[in-house]
Structure 1
Amino acid sequence: MKYETNSFSIKQWNEDDRPREKLLQKGKIALSDAELLAILIGSGSRNESAVGLSKRILASVKNNLNELGKCSVSDLTTFKGIGEAKAIAIISALELSRRHRASEGIKKDKITSSNDAFKILQSILGELPHEEFWILYLNNSNKVLHKSQISKGGITGTLVDIRLVLKNALQIGAVALILAHNHPSGAIQPSHADKQLTQKLKKAAESLDIKVLDHLIITEKTYFSFADENLL
């Protein structure tokens, strides 16, 4: 167990350097990423304030919050002043943010283009270090009824049970599907296996009068659409 002593609590900081008070007086938008992170941390180490520690943590990921979200507890506890409890608080806050982005995408509801689907799926799949396969189940107005993880794999692949995909569609009452999986490598071109799976799912779904509208390959910043590239 790691004990922290002689740390600088926020109450000991100069009045102009207190992010909690700044948030109350000026609102959350006025705070920098480092100040928001400092509120989560609460205190730094003996020779460093929480804001200073937060700046150093953010600098290690080039001030990219998506990259920070990929850090593990062991990654974060390498910083002096960050124990297990603080690391867990940071990871939990970033996971809540990720889930919030995903729920905001679902609120928009109707899918009118591949980009609409990407906005929903990127927050789920874009930052993962392993492959996952997801389905968006849609009604006849192309509104999202449900989103579901079908499988979770390794760095280079994942298996998909077509029967499970269609069973879920029938139970939900979906009439259309958007398939999606991520490529942790960042490559967006579909593999031969990706193309084969897409055609198998499309053919099986058609027998139940269910349409496969698209298959997206998701990376952190971009995507590949089978529909846009006329591969369906």
Structure 2
Amino acid sequence: MLMKTMPADARPRERLLQRGPGALSDTELLAILLRTGMAGKGVMEMAGELLAPSTIDEATGKPAGGFGGLSGLLHTSAEDLRRIKGLGPAKRAELVAVLELARRALAEQLSEREAFESPTAVKHYLQLHLANKGYEVFAVMFLNCQNRMIAMDEMFRGTLSQTSVYPREIVTRALHHGAAAVVLAHNHPSGRVQPSKADEALTHTLKNALALVDVRVLDHVIVARGAALSMAEAGLV
């Protein structure tokens, strides 16, 4: 059914204004953002297609279907969105803009209050920054003495299987920011967040290097699409 043919009190935008966003489904909220569909595909259908489970095209080996719900959608890039028919540059830009706003909102929270008042917010922030990348990225959150975020820097990039991390550069950057503590982070493009023995060894190497300049390593977070693991919570830091 096209949105314009629905009764006024059934249309997502009108229901949102009358009852609040909590009364709407994920599909309805996304349909409001998209605003219009295309010939032969209403906006509700398009929203449902975006949120549908992701699959792999057997012929090409490339991703197909949707993005596996809101979490998957929020970890997509503008390039990923191109595969959805009818999703033109304007709609892709709007969805990517929402993602960037979410990142900035979380960054504001982490700069205004102690990061570990909400470990979940830290994980979400790192997921939004790193989880959708197709290559490994090693990043560092630099914190002040109140554990509030000063900055997050992507320090190193690697291949799908490994990345080179240089402790000296992280120490130099920590001194540049005047950091009292750091949270280490990297992504696993494979989708698994279980730390490897190499991850554990690197964490301890960096912890020892930063201790020489009186900077504490509070955590090492591994992220993937839809998942995150705190090595501190797992007793590995």
Q: Which band: TM-score by shorter chain?
A: 0.7 to 0.9
Question: Which stretch has the larger CA shift, 180-189 or 54-63?
Answer: 54-63
Shift in CA distance, 76/215, structure 1 to aligned 2, threshold 3 Å: closer
Q: Which residue is equivalent to 1:225?
A: 231
Please list, as runs of the form range in 1=range in 2, the aligned pairs for 1:4-83 lying within 5 A after superposition.
13-59=6-52, 60-61=65-66, 64-73=69-78, 75-83=80-88
Q: TM-score, normalised by structure 1?
A: 0.76
- Amino acid of the structure 2 residue aligned with 1:225: M
- Amino acid of the structure 2 residue aligned with 1:222: A
Gaps of 5+ in 2: 53-64
Deviations 1:30-75 (A, max 9, x none): 2222222222222222333212221233224375112223445465
- Distance in 1 separating the partners of 2:91 and 2:112: 32
Shift in CA distance, 223/11, structure 1 to aligned 2, threshold 3 Å: same
Answer whether contact 2:141 2:182 (CA < 8 A) is retained: yes
Q: Which residue is equivalent to 2:176?
A: 171
Q: TM-score, normalised by structure 2?
A: 0.74
Question: Which stretch has the larger CA shift, 118-127 or 147-156?
Answer: 118-127
What is the CA-CA distance between 1:146 and the residue it aligns to? 2.8
Which of the residues 192, 211, 222 maps onto 1:206?
211
- Amino acid of the structure 2 residue aligned with 1:134: A
What is the CA-CA distance between 1:228 and the residue it aligns to? 4.4
Task: Give identity over the alignment, percent.
Answer: 37
Q: Which residue is equivalent to 2:156?
A: 151
Answer whether contact 2:114 2:146 (CA < 8 A) is retained: no
Please list, as runs of the form range in 1=range in 2, the aligned pairs for 1:177-216 lying within 5 A after superposition.
177-216=182-221
Structure exhibiting the larger radius of gyration computed from Cα positions: 1
Shift in CA distance, 29/182, structure 1 to aligned 2, threshold 3 Å: same
- Distance in 1 separating the partners of 2:159 and 2:134: 8
- Please tell me the root mean square deviation across aligned C-alpha atoms, in Å: 3.2
Gaps of 5+ in 1: 1-7
- Amino acid of the structure 2 residue aligned with 1:135: V
Deviations 1:178-228 (A, max 9, x none): 222122223334334333433332332222222333323334323141574
Residues matched between the structures, number: 223
- Distance in 2 separating the partners of 1:105 and 1:113: 9
Q: Which residue is equivalent to 1:125?
A: 130
Shift in CA distance, 150/34, structure 1 to aligned 2, threshold 3 Å: same
What is the CA-CA distance between 1:76 and the residue it aligns to? 3.8
Answer whether contact 1:38 1:54 (CA < 8 A) is retained: yes
Answer whether contact 1:179 1:212 (CA < 8 A) is retained: yes
Is 1:111 the counterpart of 2:116? The answer is yes
Shift in CA distance, 61/48, structure 1 to aligned 2, threshold 3 Å: closer
